[in-house]
């Protein structure tokens, strides 16, 4: 049997799996699953950066008046934008000339080998994106996605996020509650609900409330223990998605830890998901990139699966984090 067209097989297989790869990434992560369900996965078509416009102040011209009082018609600067760079990632599927020769007698043998390597590439990409959405963006020399540790920081009064210096602009600071500093004692099952209550109230603005709480192993367990004396309330929807979930004030409290989990230890994120987005580029969202690549000084063929995008935040004040 003649040798199959290896490049074509790889390219076709990767293209056929590109949608599956995207789903695998979102379904592998509780945060991305929720953002996808609520329509907060927003592909971006291009541009130098990913821009999130936002209103950061009230219009200063508001006034009560009577009769012929002069009205304030001064221009008000109330809008700004946060800019997020594209983070890029790639994973390679390769095959050496020797491996091609060894499998050349059967098309099925080649496909079996490629299937295994593509499955591995898919898992690798999914796992690293899932870790990235919790990162502080400093990994890989600052090339990583800026995740929750950047957007909803343990120390929200410092650092630059989306080009905005939080030391200078309080409107772009998230809420933070420290068990020892703000609560007076380390977080335990006896006090975690009280601490959650205090942080929750800080993140409310009228009907605008936290709708998702992500917890690591430790804090999820502490909250779970605090409920075991009463009837435990769980969420069927999150459970069907494969993530253990409890309820708090109408919000899902989701366990996103375990082996390989990305949520940092002793953290519980209070998220108003309306203002957090996962923004992959529409043309680089877990798809094959480039043509067939032959190594210059090796007998090998390589195909790349690529990603470009980032996490964005358009309102920080309504987000919070509970830490030790």
Question: For 110-146, how does the pLDDT look when each residue is reduced to its tens digit (9 = 90+)?
Answer: 566 777 777 788 778 888 888 899 999 999 999 999 9
At residue 103, the pLDDT reads 66
Using CA atoms, how far apart are residues 189 and 150, in angstroms rounded to an integer? 27
Residue ranges per structural domain of the chain? 6-56+79-323
pTM exceeds 0.85, yes or no: no
Question: Which of helix, strand or coil describes residue 110?
Answer: helix
Using one digit for the tens of pLDDT, what is the confidence trace for 179-216? 999 999 999 999 999 999 999 999 999 889 999 999 99
The contacts of residue 178 (CB under 8 Å, 6+ apart) are 323, 324
Name the CATH architecture for the domain at 6-56+79-323. Answer: Alpha-Beta Complex (3.90)
Separation of alpha carbons 223 and 243, rounded Å:
16
pLDDT averaged over the chain?
82
Cβ pair 179, 324 in contact under 8 A: yes
């Amino acid at each position: 049997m003649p040798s199959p067209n290896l490049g074509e097989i790889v390219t076709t297989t990767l293209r056929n799996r590109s949608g599956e790869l995207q789903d695998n990434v979102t379904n592998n992560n509780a945060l991305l699953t929720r953002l996808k369900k609520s329509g907060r996965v927003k592909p971006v078509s291009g541009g130098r950066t990913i821009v999130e416009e936002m209103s950061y102040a009230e219009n200063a011209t508001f006034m009560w008046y009577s009769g012929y009082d002069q009205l304030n018609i001064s221009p008000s600067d109330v809008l700004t934008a946060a800019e997020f760079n594209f983070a890029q990632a790639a994973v390679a599927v390769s095959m050496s000339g020797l491996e091609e020769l060894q499998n050349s007698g059967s098309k099925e043998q080649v496909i079996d080998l490629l299937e295994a390597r593509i499955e591995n590439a898919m898992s690798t990409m999914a796992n690293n994106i899932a870790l990235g959405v919790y990162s502080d963006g400093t990994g890989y020399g600052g090339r990583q996605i800026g995740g929750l540790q950047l957007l909803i920081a343990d120390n929200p009064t410092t650092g630059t996020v989306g080009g905005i210096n939080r030391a200078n602009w309080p409107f772009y600071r998230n809420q933070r509650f420290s068990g020892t500093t703000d609560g007076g004692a380390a977080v335990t099952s006896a006090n975690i609900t009280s601490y959650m209550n205090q942080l929750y109230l800080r993140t409310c603005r009228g009907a605008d409330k936290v709708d998702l709480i992500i917890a690591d192993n430790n804090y999820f367990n502490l909250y779970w223990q605090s409920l075991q004396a009463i009837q435990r309330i769980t969420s069927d929807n999150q459970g069907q998605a494969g993530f253990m979930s409890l309820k708090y004030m109408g919000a899902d409290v989701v366990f996103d830890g375990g082996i390989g989990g990305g949520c940092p230890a002793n953290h519980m994120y209070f998220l108003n998901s309306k203002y957090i987005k996962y923004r992959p580029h529409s043309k680089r969202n877990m798809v094959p990139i480039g043509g067939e690549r032959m190594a210059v000084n090796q007998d090998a063929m390589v195909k790349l699966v690529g990603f470009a995008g980032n996490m964005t935040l358009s309102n920080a004040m309504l987000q919070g984090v509970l830490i030790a």
